[in-house]
Amino acid sequence: MGARARGTLIVLCGAIFLEGIDVAMLNVALPTIRADLGLTTGELSGVVSAYVLGYAGFMLLGGRAADVFGKRRMFLTWLVVFLVFSGLGGLATEGWVLLAARFVTGVAAAFLTPAGLALVTASFPAGPLRTRALGFYAGTAAGGYSLGLVAGGLLTALGWRWVFFAPVVLSAAILLAAIPLVRETGQRQAVRGLDLAGAGSITAAMLLLAYGVVRLESPGEGTATTAALLVGGAAMVAVFVAVERRSHAPLVRLGLLRTPALVRTNTAALLFLGSFAGFQFLVTLYLQELRGWTPLQTALALLVVAIDTILAPTLTTRLVNRFGPVPVLLGGLASAVLAYALFLPVAPDWTYALMLPSFAALGLAFSLAYGPLTMAATDGVDEAEHGLAGGLLYTSMQFGTALGLSAATAVHVGATAAGATGIDALRAAMAVPLAGAALGLVVVAVGLRRRTAVTVTDPAAV
């Protein structure tokens, strides 16, 4: 890997690190933001939901835009938008300004993230070099989220606005380095007309579905509205499919969505990130509300999960080069199942030594799963569609995060309403991440078994 290629990789890794650390720091700062701006619980939840809506709603469009309009152009343009609106969030004095800033920041991430992944895959040839590059990329992505918890605790102590201003400084540095280093790679797809109907229908579908999933966090509150949103989102998906079948220049080539390996990869991504989101939420409740730990103590307790920052670009890339991404992904999901199972019997007086095995196993899970998911997302996909493939992967991750958080919250609230004590309600909800990770393990295992069967029967078919 030459000096320029190394510099390009550092810039692209910096961008995905920025996205992860931005989300994690905000989660830690939410209570302080509410106290300062006088936000209601609904408004505070909206600060998180606004980002999810922008991210999930425009991700597929962002992935396609990278393929059509150029990966570098989309990367640089939306990095600027991310910078500007992150700064606007830090200057907010009213709740609605913060909500608007987070929504547009989410939209910027939806265009920025798939363009960044497509640039990585296009900048490095398939083989060990690309595997190594994607290992570093995945490690910094997951590490950004883990380290963001600690950074959020430290910055919130200085003032919650620094949680928004710090990404401004980081994104400005990335932008200055990206302009001379990042080059346009690959060929853009030929455009015979913009598929406005497809873009509008899938964006509407993603927005409705994301908002419906977010509302699941409050069971029994506006159930009819939530159901209407989910049904409306499903209907818009059907409209999108009908439009794409008739379009001469479809936004998404439907044949790509019928690839079994791609479907399994995105399903595994949804379940893996969903189970982690639910687990992290429940652990935060346990440590802060049941045990009285501070946000910084909680963040430091979870810091061991960031071991993936070291293992992903070293151990994982070697394992993938030897065994391929799918077997390594299987090991990662098995480690996640172990992590959640070990935490299932949690008690009010657990010492950190009793929690540590779960957190360490989760760090290993991220080390073995996140990178292979990123690699498998574009494996076998034409380079001209890598932006779209990246958009599909991150859409699955974002929906998984929202769904896992909503499901864990719903079970916890339901158990509490049924009269369960705090620790009993927590144990009941802990079954959600365990079930999600176990289901993801089954999905990947079935795919690996079928792939092995094909290899044995007809090696030329692989």
| 380: in domain | yes
* Contacting residues for 296 by C-beta, under 8 A, at least 6 apart: 150, 153, 154, 157
Task: Look at the chain and report how many structural domains it folds into.
Answer: 1
Q: What angle do CA 236, 51, 140 make, to 5 degrees?
A: 115
Identify the pLDDT of residue 125: 83
Do 250 and 244 touch, CB atoms closer than 8 A?
A: yes
Q: How far apart (Å, rounded) are the C-alpha atoms in residues 288 and 144?
A: 22
Do 19 and 116 touch, CB atoms closer than 8 A?
A: no
* Contacting residues for 299 by C-beta, under 8 A, at least 6 apart: 28, 149, 150, 152, 153
Provide the CB-side half-sphere exposure for 454 (13 A, CA).
9
Q: How far apart (Å, rounded) are the C-alpha atoms in residues 94 and 226?
A: 27
What CA–CA distances, in Å, run from 332 to 284, 363, 376, 433, 439? 23, 9, 14, 14, 13
| 416: in domain | yes
| 316: in domain | yes
Residue-number span of the structural domain to which 288 is assigned: 3-185+195-452
HEC readout, the chain: CCHHHHHHHHHHHHHHHHHHHHHHHHHHHHHHHHHHHCCCHHHHHHHHHHHHHHHHHHHHHHHHHHHHHCHHHHHHHHHHHHHHHHHHHHHCCCHHHHHHHHHHHHHHHHHHHHHHHHHHHHHCCCCHHHHHHHHHHHHHHHHHHHHHHHHHHHHHHHCCCHHHHHHHHHHHHHHHHHHHHCCCCCCCCCCCCCCHHHHHHHHHHHHHHHHHHHHCCCCCCCHHHHHHHHHHHHHHHHHHHHHHHHCCCCCCCHHHHCCHHHHHHHHHHHHHHHHHHHHHHHHHHHHHHHCCCCHHHHHHHHHHHHHHHHHHHHHHHHHHHHHCHHHHHHHHHHHHHHHHHHHCCCCCCCCHHHHHHHHHHHHHHHHHHHHHHHHHHHCCCCHHHHHHHHHHHHHHHHHHHHHHHHHHHHHHHHHHHCCCCHHHHHHHHHHHHHHHHHHHHHHHHHHHHHHHHHHHHCHHHC
Q: How far apart (Å, rounded) are the C-alpha atoms in residues 243 and 202?
A: 10
Provide the CB-side half-sphere exposure for 267 (13 A, CA).
17
| 28: in domain | yes
| 457: in domain | no
Identify the pLDDT of residue 33: 84
* Contacting residues for 229 by C-beta, under 8 A, at least 6 apart: 208, 209, 211, 212, 215
**Domain CATH number, residue 161:** 1.20.1250.20
Would you write out the chain's pLDDT as a tens digit for each of its 462 residues?
Answer: 678 888 999 999 999 998 888 887 887 787 788 888 887 755 766 777 788 778 877 887 888 888 888 889 999 999 999 999 999 999 988 888 998 999 999 999 989 998 998 898 888 887 888 888 888 888 788 778 778 877 887 888 788 899 999 999 999 999 999 999 988 776 555 555 567 788 788 888 877 887 787 777 665 556 788 888 889 989 998 998 888 888 777 777 777 777 788 889 999 999 998 899 889 888 888 887 788 888 778 878 888 888 888 888 888 888 988 888 889 999 999 999 999 999 999 999 899 999 999 999 999 998 899 888 888 887 777 777 777 788 788 888 888 887 888 788 888 888 888 888 889 999 999 999 999 999 999 999 987 776 555 444 444 444
Q: Write the single-letter amino acid at 93.
A: T
| 36: in domain | yes
Sign of the alpha-carbon dihedral angle for 179, 185, 191, 196: negative
Identify the pLDDT of residue 220: 59
Structural tokens at position 443:
């999905």
| 142: in domain | yes
Identify the pLDDT of residue 460: 44
| 460: in domain | no
Q: How far apart (Å, rounded) are the C-alpha atoms in residues 173 and 168?
A: 9
Residue with tokens 């657990």: 350
Structural tokens at position 379:
């494996």
